[in-house]
Amino acid sequence: MTIIAIDFGTSNTAIAILEMDSDRQIAMPQTIKFDHISRSFETSEGLSWLVPSLVYVTEGIDKFLLGEQARSQSQFAGQPETLARLWQGFKRDMVARYRSPAREIDGEIYDAEAIAEIFLTELWRRLLAQQIHPTQLICTAPIGAFEAYLHWFQGLAQRLGIHNLQMIDESTAAALGYAITRPNTLVLVVDFGGGTLDLSLVRTAPIADDPDQRQITKAEVIAKSDAYIGGIDIDRWIAEYFLRQIAIERSQISAANWLSLLALSEQVKIKLSLVQEVTEVWVDQQQDSYELKITQNELSEILEQNQMIAQLREAIDEVLAMGLRRGISKAAIEQILLVGGSCQIIAIQQLIAAYFGKSKVKFEKPFEAVAHGALVLGQAIAISDHLRHSYAIRLWEPYLHQYSYYSLFEKGTKYPCQRTEPLILQAAIADQAEIYLDIGEVADLAQAEVTYDRQGKMTSSQLLKRSDFQSLTVSNDFAQELDLEKICVARLDPKGKVGVDRLSATFEVTARRVLIATVRDLLTEQVLINQQAIAKLE
């Protein structure tokens, strides 16, 4: 039995393998190294081999370059046309509600989904070329990812001929990667990568033994939180800080110069995790050179100004509050496990240590914990989880001429679960022939707004919050696989009248996280929709 785990990241992607022989003897997880495209990162446990999440669209025989090959090619990118061929951050675009526009390259249209599929398909091809034939694939996803992103993964697996696919959120996987060998441990994972911040409060415990004398382990997810921030935001803020330092406006430099400054800023960020001050010389495309300086304290101030520290505090506070409602105090948390490259930043580590105490904070597997922990799903494990997003139905209010939202299930609800009260619906217009149940997920989003004066001094900084509704959509292939309906419609006969209660709808979420609806016509007493599966909540 060969299990593969893919931790598809905004900046880097880790692929790990676990093999089990016929006697169910389990080897240690190993991170796979791919020649020419993998990049090494040094940790306390040795080298970690990751594939940079980069794709370069070429004009040659090899249509696409990945990872380190793409990075090397982009170093020679001096023209806007060449820069347009480099794709980075496409995983974050897929997770986001609003995405970057598609690009036309050599007469073909590419968007984030297309590039992600090219990237992961090529990695899969290289696995098979190494004579690795997985019997199971496990993929990770950010806590706050919308269902559309998870459905896309399911569709990709089908197109690759993968029939045994499981999904797990990244921070829960990291907890398993660190703590599964220590049952009854309560851990908080802070997974701070290139594109997202995810937190999971997880308890691992043995629950039973199977007939083959294997211990079955349960991972109970007690609380979750997330924020749409990451290392690529920090790189941009450092680059903007440098431009203010040399009194140059962003609009005054070319795309090629901006890209090279971002690359330099990323290197500066990494160095600042080791030293107090960094001085670098930036040479632009016109061969003009600039001396750039930044200290750890200045980086901390940048993070404060751009509300990153505030968002981290809020995410921690949210997890602690949810834990407390379930009887878990902050003092009961035994370990704080830091995962992801952004956790190397001193200001981030200091804040977390101030919350929980330095002795509890662990940073031993920053790059591989997620992929290695995901492999645990292929062994004997059960996961008790809850809904990260709220789910609501969107209805048109004819008298107010606007949409309203009625909550079906609040975030934090453990599943399987059932809505206790039926939802009563009316026709929105006269002689309405059908009512469409527009059900979606509601996520709380935050965005920092920072204003500077002409001298580069910050004049204001605030964190703007809003809720975002995204309708649940299911692909044709995935709908057929799970016997789901793409559209849930209740047809009215006779036609509906405005202001008259017409439908009674009940909802439940199964143990497989399938959303089920039952709809009854109050006028005719007929059941119009009976236990219909309408969405898979991954």
Q: How far is CA 350 from CA 89, 130, 479, in A?
A: 27, 42, 47
- Greater pLDDT, 194 or 209: 194
Half-sphere exposure of residue 132: CA atoms within 13 angstroms, side-chain side: 22
How much is the pLDDT for 211? 46
Task: Determine the angle formed by the axes of helices 112-129 and 147-159, rounding to 10 degrees.
Answer: 40
Query: What number is the average pLDDT over the span 439-467?
Result: 64
- What is the spatial distance between Cα 240 and Cα 451, in angstroms, rounded to a whole number? 12
Query: What number is the average pLDDT over the span 109-116?
Result: 94
**Can you read off the two tokens belonging to residue 158?**
């089908």
How much is the pLDDT for 17? 94
Q: How far is CA 533 from CA 479, 487, 515, in A?
A: 9, 10, 6
How much is the pLDDT for 311? 92
> Any idea which of 127-131, 293-297, 386-390 has the lowest mean pLDDT?
386-390
pLDDT reading at 461 higher than 70: no
Query: What number is the average pLDDT over the span 16-42?
Result: 81
Cα–Cα nearest to 334, from 466, 479, 175: 175
- What is the spatial distance between Cα 46 and Cα 43, in angstroms, rounded to a whole number? 5
Using a pLDDT cut of 90, give the percent of the chain over it. 39
Q: Are 516 and 510 in contact (CB under 8 A)?
A: yes
Domains of the chain, with CATH numbers? 2-229+314-384 (3.30.420.40), 390-536 (2.60.34)
Cα–Cα nearest to 67, from 93, 82, 48, 86: 86
> Any idea which of 46-50, 326-330, 347-351, 356-360 has the lowest mean pLDDT?
46-50
pLDDT reading at 475 higher than 50: no
How much is the pLDDT for 484? 47
The average confidence (pLDDT) of the chain is 83
How much is the pLDDT for 390? 84
Q: Find all residues with CB under 8 Å of 54, minimum gap 6, and list them.
A: 66, 67, 70, 71, 74, 86, 87, 88
pLDDT reading at 223 higher than 80: yes
| 409-448 confidence digits (pLDDT tens) | 888 788 888 888 899 988 888 899 988 888 888 776 665 5
Q: Find all residues with CB under 8 Å of 409, minimum gap 6, and list them.
A: 387, 390, 391, 417, 419, 507, 509
Q: How far is CA 55 from CA 35, 90, 119, in A?
A: 16, 9, 7
Q: Find all residues with CB under 8 Å of 162, minimum gap 6, and list them.
A: 134, 137
pLDDT reading at 315 higher than 50: yes
Query: What number is the average pLDDT over the span 500-507?
Result: 91
3 state SS for 47-105: EEEEEECEEEECCCCCCEEEHHHHHHHHCCCCCHHHHCCEEECHHHHHHCCCCCCCEEE
Residue showing tokens 């249509």: 63
Query: What number is the average pLDDT over the span 359-373?
Result: 89
Q: What are phi and psi of 401, to 5 degrees?
A: 55, 45
How much is the pLDDT for 32? 94
Query: What number is the average pLDDT over the span 246-274?
Result: 89
